[in-house]
Chain A
């Protein structure tokens, strides 16, 4: 299973853009917001927590359909399903690889974008903490959505439609955590709730994703 992870990471690096694209999208998104909203720093610092979380979420969403699609098209998925690796393990590793190539870079650059958006100083630590804890849930939920839609041609739009409602609780708690941190209020409770959602998603969703993969491979 470590082999699976290594292979996915190698592919992401070699294919060019596995790491970079979501990051570039996040950057563009954060740049466009002030252009749309206006340059007043007070407004920007008010909406920065939500914008940063929303940007990270959309950047994650962008790369979801590639999680299983390529392996499905070239027959690798069939072969893995007949190998000793359980599909549950495959789903978990795919989610992990997606997080490393998408979620982790987003967490690392988020403070820079927070500077651009004038996030109040108190929010920075909470931003990193909540994104660090929350993006694994985004990857796990997205992997489940990708497993559901893997057999559908041009399933990308449908994938977004299925996954976005499932992202609601993570987004709410994550953005709330940063907002409260920025305002100097108690931010620990939402942070712990984000952690709870992540742990729950990681515990349940690989099994649901594997069930969906089995149906799609029939």
Chain B
């Protein structure tokens, strides 16, 4: 298993969003997260990425296995495409960014500054970072936003290649990517919008008479 989640409860600020989430993602497998807007897909992904501590349950993965990509592109507009990629390659300790450049067809853009690119081009650059990270489990939050059909296909091909090499992915998306071994996971049944269970102010107490 690349990633196993057991009875996970996650929260955003004072509110608990999800409870009792359990799933496992095997090597070569992709998990597509579905759920209406505001259900808690982003919160779940941030919890998986280790940014938000879970309030209950366990997340089992190899150390440093998860690569996270959020709504925000995380690019520096004053740096060129190549400089942006090289920076992240340095951060993740990988040397070869050529596959990433090829997979998202960034070759012609290498000398452009990120600030001068369109939203879709920026998105491609930000997705190319996943390949540079060299990590096994991709946690992606709406990765295809502002991509055209051609580039959605490129992205799907990159994910497929990643899976075929034993990687896995957890992707929150509303479109069909046509991935070979993809399971759909609907988070709607796990939505438990309430005050978080570990908030001691949630239960009534003697002193709060009017």
Residue A153 lies at the interface, judged by CB distance under 8 Å to chain B: no
Q: Are B70 and A78 in contact (CB under 8 A)?
A: yes
* Chain B residues within 8 Å of A11, by CB: 76, 78-79
Residue pair B91, A84 in contact (C-beta under 8 Å):
yes
- Pair A84/B64 contact, Cβ less than 8 Å: yes
Within 8 Å by CB of B83, from A10, A79, A81, lies A10
Which B residues from 95 to 110 make CB contacts under 8 A with A? Answer: none
Query: Is residue B171 contacting chain A, with contact meaning CB distance below 8 A?
Result: no
Q: How far is the CB of A43 from chain B (nearest CB, A)?
A: 45
Contacts of A2 in B (CB 8 A): 90
Contacts of A74 in B (CB 8 A): 72-76
Which of these binds chain A: B49-57, B161-169, B197-205?
B49-57
Mostly helix, strand, loop or mixed at chain A's interface?
A: helix
A78 touches B90 (CB 8 A): no
Name the B residues within 8 Å of A6 (CB-CB).
Answer: 87
Q: Which residue of B lies closest to A81 (CB)?
A: B51
Task: Tell me, rounded to whole Å, the shortest Cβ–Cβ distance linking A74 to chain B.
Answer: 6
When C-beta atoms are compared, the residue in chain B nearest to A75 turns out to be B72
User: Is B23 positioned at the interface, with any CB of A under 8 Å from its CB?
Assistant: no
In the complex, whether B67 has a CB less than 8 A from a CB of chain A is: yes
On whether the beta carbons of A7 and B76 are closer than 8 Å, the reply is yes
Does A80 sit at the interface, judged by CB under 8 A? yes
Residues of A within 8 A of B83 (CB): 7, 10
Closest B residue, CB atoms, query A7: B87
The residue on A at minimum CB distance from B64 is A84
A82 near B91: Cβ-Cβ < 8 Å:
no
**Known A-B contacts A7-B87, A74-B72, A74-B73; A82 and B67 likewise in contact (beta carbons under 8 Å):** yes
Tell me if B93 is interfacial: C-beta within 8 Å of chain A.
yes
Q: Which residue of A lies closest to B114 (CB)?
A: A74
- CA–CA, A78 and B50, complex, Å: 10
Chain B proximity of A13: nearest CB distance (Å): 9
Q: Which of A4, A10, A217 contacts B91 (CB 8 A)?
A: A4
B78 near A15: Cβ-Cβ < 8 Å: yes
Quick check: is A36 within 8 A (CB to CB) of the other chain? no
Measured CB to CB, the closest approach of chain B to A24, in angstroms, equals 20
A112: CB under 8 A from chain B? no
Question: Does A82 contact B92, Cβ atoms closer than 8 Å?
Answer: no
A6 CB → nearest B CB, Å:
8
A14 to B78, CA, bound (A): 6
Q: Which chain B residues border A41 with CB–CB below 8 Å? A: none
Q: Is A40 an interface residue (CB 8 A)?
A: no
List residues of chain B with CB within 8 A of the CB of A83.
88, 91-92, 133
What distance in Å separates the Cβ of B197 from its nearest Cβ neighbour in chain A? 17
Q: Name which residue of chain B comes closest to A77, CB basis.
A: B74
B30 in contact (CB, < 8 A): no
Chain B, 33-86, CB within 8 A of any chain A CB: 49-53, 64, 66-76, 78-79, 83, 86
Told that A2-B90, A76-B75, A78-B49 touch, could you supply 6 new A-B pairs with CB distance under 8 A? A79-B70, A79-B74, A79-B129, A82-B49, A85-B91, A217-B51
23 residue pairs A–B, Cβ–Cβ below 8 Å: A2-B90, A3-B87, A10-B79, A11-B78, A11-B79, A74-B74, A74-B76, A75-B72, A75-B74, A76-B74, A76-B76, A78-B68, A78-B70, A78-B74, A79-B129, A82-B49, A82-B50, A82-B67, A82-B68, A83-B88, A83-B92, A84-B92, A85-B91
